[in-house]
Every structure is written in structure tokens, then in C-alpha cells.
Amino acid sequence: MNRKHSLSLLDRFEEKIERIPECGCWIWMGSSALWGYGQIWVVNRVMVAHRASWEMFNGPIPKGMCVLHKCDTPPCVNPYHLFLGTKSDNTQDMLSKKRENRHSRARGEQHGSVKLKESDVVKILRDRRVSPEVAKDYGVSDSQIRGIKRRECWAHVNPERIVKGE
């Protein structure tokens, strides 16, 4: 049996944290997912490390509940820095602390699955053809083009911007 499987979850967990005495955070040093949250294998699945911490030290997480951070440090897994709340509680916590939504940070060309560039969006905004025709030229959906033209997405792009090469 390899070493990884011979250790208990708590032992594997302990190996991957660094305690920071100044702030009390237990920083996850193992692998991490998007937005800096740690992740650990638990019973044949990957689990977010702070949720695993909650369950190890406090018991099961009730269905529909989130595990929130008092310290606002995503890699922190200190159970004393965690508390349960609803998605609404999480949003209220974010707003009360004037913390930006980590899940909506990336936009435009910074988003991981983007097919368009800002210069394309400016051209699309200026294009007078029907959405399906424009969509075909850019390899995106007709609804994406309508969203751009209605300024529901890519709203941060200034349509007055001069596009290079025009």
C-alpha cells in the first residue's frame, strides 16, 4: 500500500497546512482549485479543503449550506475561521466587507473560455447585419451576438474605441 493511502484523512490534511501564528490562519499548501481554495481527495472524490476541514472538526455540512471564511482568506482551513451560512449569507458577507466577487472577476479577454477579443466586440457593435450572420463570422452563438448588441455582456467595452486596422 502506498504512503498516501496508509495515512488517515486528518494526517494527510495536517501535512498540507501551514499555521500562521500572527493571524491564526491555517494556509492550505496542497493543490488548489480556482480562486485559491484548497482541494483534497476524500473518499474517491475531490473536496474543497475548507469544507473538508469543517466536516473533520465540526461534523456534516447541512444540505444547501456554504462554509464561509471569517478571515476572507480562501486558502485558510482553520475551523475557527469558518462558519456555516446560506448563499445569501455569503453574498451579504461579501457586500458588508466590501469584498469583490471572486467568481465574477474575469471578464472579457481575461475570461478563460473567451472566443472573442475586445476589438471583435467593437466591430460587432458596429455591424448592422442580423445576429445569425454576424455569429457565423465569429464562430459564436446568435444569442451571444444579441447579448453584445444589447450590452448585456462585454458591457465594459467602449464602442467608440477605434479598432486597429480600420
DSSP-derived letter for residue 7 is: S
Query: Is there a single domain that holds both residue 75 and residue 130?
Result: no
Q: Say if residue 98 is in the same domain as residue 110.
A: no
Question: Pick the residue with more confidence: 116 or 1?
Answer: 116
All three cell numbers of 52: 473538508
Model confidence over 19-65: pLDDT tens digits? 988 889 999 888 887 677 889 988 888 899 999 999 999 999 999 99
Mean pLDDT within 125-146: 89
pLDDT of residue 113: 52
For the chain, give the percent of residues with pLDDT over 90: 30
Query: Is 70 in a helix, a strand, or coil?
Result: coil
The DSSP line for 41-60 is EETTEEEEHHHHHHHHHH-P
User: How many domains does the chain contain in total?
Assistant: 2
Is it the case that residue 98 has pLDDT exceeding 80? no
Tell me how far apart the alpha carbons of residues 58 and 129 are, in angstroms, rounded to a whole number: 59
Residues 94 and 101: their CA atoms lie apart, in Å, by 7
Which amino acid makes up residue 126?
Answer: R
Of 11-15, 33-37, 128-132, 162-166, give the lowest mean pLDDT range. 162-166
Residue 66 in contact with residue 85, Cβ under 8 Å? yes
CA distances (Å), origin 126, targets 17, 119, 146, 149, 158: 52, 11, 13, 9, 11
Mean local confidence (pLDDT), 89-103: 73
The residue among 79, 104, 129 that closes a domain is: 104
Q: Are residues 94 and 133 in the same domain?
A: no
The span from the CA of 89 to the CA of 92, in Å, is: 5
